[in-house]
Chains A and B, each alone.
Chain A
Amino acid sequence: MKTMSMMEAIREAMNKRMREDKNVILFGEDVGAFGGCFGVSAGMFDEFGEERVMDTPISEGVIIGTAVGAAATGLRPIAELMFIDFATVGADQLVNQAAKMRYMFGGKINLPMVVRLPLGAGISAAAQHSQSLEAWLAHIPGLKVVYPSTPSDAYGLLLQSIDDDNPVIFLEHKVLYGAKGEVDENMAPIKFGIGDVKREGSDVTIVATGKMVHEALAAAEKLSAEGIEAEVFDPRTLFPLDKKGILKSLEKTNKIVIVTEENKRGSFAGEISAIIAEEGFDYLDAPVLRVCAMDTPVPFSPVLEKYYVPDADDIVKAVKKLF
């Protein structure tokens, strides 16, 4: 076991696979000698050289398109975009090309590619550098969407993402890059579609993703002091989604709150709510509640931004409505 930050865990997972498999390459804006916008690929250029860790021009469409073409012809590319917000610029290649090619070609092509997308608010980067757009991506058949909340999960899920023969969207919350945790470098890749109970509890289930897992855990501690034991469930992958894990926890607690950092309207939290309504209605003793960001663009001012993003107190407030 080794203590690592989330950023180090992501880097080490890439390093591990790049050492093992020459077909794994990394490219994106400033990922080379500069080490990446957030420093995720620091040192990789020195180890693997310019043939395998490549700076691209600021051209998000062709960054993703290059991953598509390279994956279709024998490589296992990892493409980094600086911010998930920029995926809108390259959206055709993600949505119409990467996600659709295998299906439209009758299953006769594999696209083993990973697109790494930093997301989330919390660094006063305003509305074009802070969004949580995971629902858009999880909406598209043909993509897999991975969203780790801890260094260990990030490590194991990224290994699996690189090993996967399909396009994988790997979401990295910027505020969690510095979060530390224990990582077993010899761990097996974490299979997709298997959520993790981050805290056991019997009174209410809190489903949370990314940074919100940590807010949910903080909320659970506050609730515990008041005699409510919350179970915190992190699905870890949005597609495939561990429906069974969510429903199993709900069956035990009979109450559920879903917490994500997205704008509430059209959020993936809404998708989970709908699944519960369709498949878990009999388990419910209270309405399903969502705690999400407000339905506004992400504001710049630290005061406004803090108000925009849900926190532990918002979660506590929501949970208490169920009792």
Chain B
Amino acid sequence: MDLTNEKIVEMYKVMKRIREFETNASRLFAEGIIPGFVHLYLGEEAVATGVCSSLNEDDYITSTHRGHGHIIAKGGETKYMMAELFGKETGYCKGKGGSMHIADATKGILGANGIVGAGQNISVGAGLSAKYRKSGQVCACFFGDGSTNQGTFHESINLASIWKLPVVFVCENNLYGISMSQARHQAIQDVADRAVAYNIPGVVVDGNDIFAVYEAATEAVARARSGQGPTLIECKTYRHKGHFEGDPTTYRPSDEVQEWMAKDPLPKAVAYLLDNEIVTEEELKKIDEEILREIAAAVKFAEDSPVPSLESIVQDIYTDIVEEVR
């Protein structure tokens, strides 16, 4: 793998940034400060980071209800994300979307999505657009194992395959669709097996191994960019928390949880950095502190930001029509 130490450190920073953002989001939700639903990416950091590290800045992603990690990995700014989670005017969506709808088109982030599987359809459109414009862009489409039973999964991969679109389908198999285990929600173990049905490569990787994810994604992105069409990458991973914050997770056996907590991608990455002398303990401490400061500043930014004006409720529906305020 042609990864420079500098890039490896950057990848670690992204994972750590996601971890800190989510840890704070969890706390702020528990404290009643963040309203609505929050689906955390804790435990799955290596997937978003590995995939997005293989993308260019102008490449696209489509995301899911569990989207914070994807957005951070694609360059989303944590202060605007946190402000959106707070429902503040300064948030990415001016407080109109919340956790499940953060987007930043300037960074190719075509949105988290509250509908399971919907991003798959949209990724095909982004892929078509890139191919038609001959822009060389690629779209990475993230989704969970639960969404692979939606019709969108079949429709999207089929169309991307016959049109040879530059889309990389990334399944984050965290073993559960909400409370239903994969063993109960589908009759296969590897989602990647389904690639056969579309005559595209299907790859299974350890989703908690950032280098394995990066390597698979890099190959799939190269294939997509060169006009050979999509790849289905299945990343085996696990969410440390429930489907949503507040989920009692009684459906997960404790030995399974323990087994996967031991495979936490963050300590693995730390060990790699230190064992290979990519950074010193001292340098690592500095990196971590810097990220902690960034997230603390993001929380402060969100706290200090104004709530949206009531007049803003009618804005941004259309480019040109503004309804009357009540």
In whole angstroms, how far apart are the Cα atoms of A97 and B121 in the complex? Answer: 10
Does B133 sit at the interface, judged by CB under 8 A? yes
Check if B128 sits within 8 Å of A96, measured CB to CB.
no
Interface segment out of the listed A63-71, A207-215, A255-263? A63-71
Residues 137-153 of A, flagged 1 when their CB comes within 8 A of B and 0 if not, give: 00001101000000000
In whole angstroms, how far apart are the Cα atoms of A291 and B114 in the complex? Answer: 39
In whole angstroms, how far apart are the Cα atoms of A69 and B111 in the complex? Answer: 11
- Count A-B pairs with CB separation below 8 Å: 146
Q: A65-B118, A104-B93 are in contact. Are A70 and B103 (CB under 8 A)?
A: no
Does B122 sit at the interface, judged by CB under 8 A? yes
Whole-angstrom distance between the Cβ of A72 and the nearest chain B Cβ: 6
The residue that B115 contacts in the complex, of A92, A105, A110, A166, with Cβ under 8 A, is: A92
In whole angstroms, how far apart are the Cα atoms of A69 and B103 in the complex? Answer: 13
In whole angstroms, how far apart are the Cα atoms of A105 and B317 in the complex? Answer: 10
- A69: chain B residues within 8 A (beta carbon): 62, 110, 121-129, 139
Q: A75-B132, A96-B115 are in contact. Are A141 and B317 (CB under 8 A)?
A: yes
A window 73-88: CB within 8 A of B:
73-75, 77
Q: Which A-chain residue is minimally distant from B308 (CB atoms)? A: A106
Check if B103 sits within 8 Å of A103, measured CB to CB.
no
Check if A73 sits within 8 Å of B317, measured CB to CB.
no
The residue that B93 contacts in the complex, of A92, A106, A110, A142, with Cβ under 8 A, is: A106
A contact residues, range: 35 or more
- B126: chain A residues within 8 A (beta carbon): 69-70, 72-73
Check if B125 sits within 8 Å of A68, measured CB to CB.
yes
- B239: chain A residues within 8 A (beta carbon): none
Does A224 sit at the interface, judged by CB under 8 A? no
Q: A69-B122, A73-B60, A144-B318 are in contact. Are A106 and B97 (CB under 8 A)?
A: yes
Check if A165 sits within 8 Å of B124, measured CB to CB.
no
Check if B125 sits within 8 Å of A66, measured CB to CB.
yes
Does A51 sit at the interface, judged by CB under 8 A? yes
Check if B124 sits within 8 Å of A62, measured CB to CB.
yes
- B97: chain A residues within 8 A (beta carbon): 104-106
Check if B319 sits within 8 Å of A165, measured CB to CB.
yes
Whole-angstrom distance between the Cβ of A61 and the nearest chain B Cβ: 5
The residue that B319 contacts in the complex, of A61, A104, A166, with Cβ under 8 A, is: A166
In whole angstroms, how far apart are the Cα atoms of A56 and B163 in the complex? Answer: 9
The residue that A106 contacts in the complex, of B96, B120, B156, with Cβ under 8 A, is: B96
The residue that A93 contacts in the complex, of B103, B118, B316, with Cβ under 8 A, is: B118
Does B249 sit at the interface, judged by CB under 8 A? no
Does A320 sit at the interface, judged by CB under 8 A? no
Residues 1-33 of A, flagged 1 when their CB comes within 8 A of B and 0 if not, give: 000000000000000000000000100000000
Q: A107-B316, A108-B105 are in contact. Are A70 and B96 (CB under 8 A)?
A: no
Residues 127-141 of B, flagged 1 when their CB comes within 8 A of A and 0 if not, give: 111101100000100
Does A240 sit at the interface, judged by CB under 8 A? yes
In whole angstroms, how far apart are the Cα atoms of A61 and B129 in the complex? Answer: 17
Q: A109-B103, A110-B319 are in contact. Are A65 and B129 (CB under 8 A)?
A: no
In whole angstroms, how far apart are the Cα atoms of A141 and B62 in the complex? Answer: 23
The residue that A66 contacts in the complex, of B91, B92, B96, B124, with Cβ under 8 A, is: B124
Q: A75-B132, A106-B96, A166-B320 are in contact. Are A65 and B122 (CB under 8 A)?
A: yes
- A57: chain B residues within 8 A (beta carbon): 155, 158-159, 162
Whole-angstrom distance between the Cβ of A59 and the nearest chain B Cβ: 4
Check if A72 sits within 8 Å of B93, measured CB to CB.
no
Whole-angstrom distance between the Cβ of A115 and the nearest chain B Cβ: 13
- B62: chain A residues within 8 A (beta carbon): 69
Whole-angstrom distance between the Cβ of A57 and the nearest chain B Cβ: 6
Q: Which B-chain residue is minimally distant from A72 (CB atoms)? A: B110
Does B151 sit at the interface, judged by CB under 8 A? yes
Residue positions of A touching B, CB distance < 8 A: 25, 51, 54, 56-57, 59, 61-62, 64-75, 77, 92-93, 96-97, 101-110, 141-142, 144, 165-166, 240
Task: Pick 8 A–B contacts, CB within 8 A, sort by A.
Answer: A54-B163, A61-B151, A61-B152, A62-B121, A65-B155, A66-B128, A102-B316, A165-B319
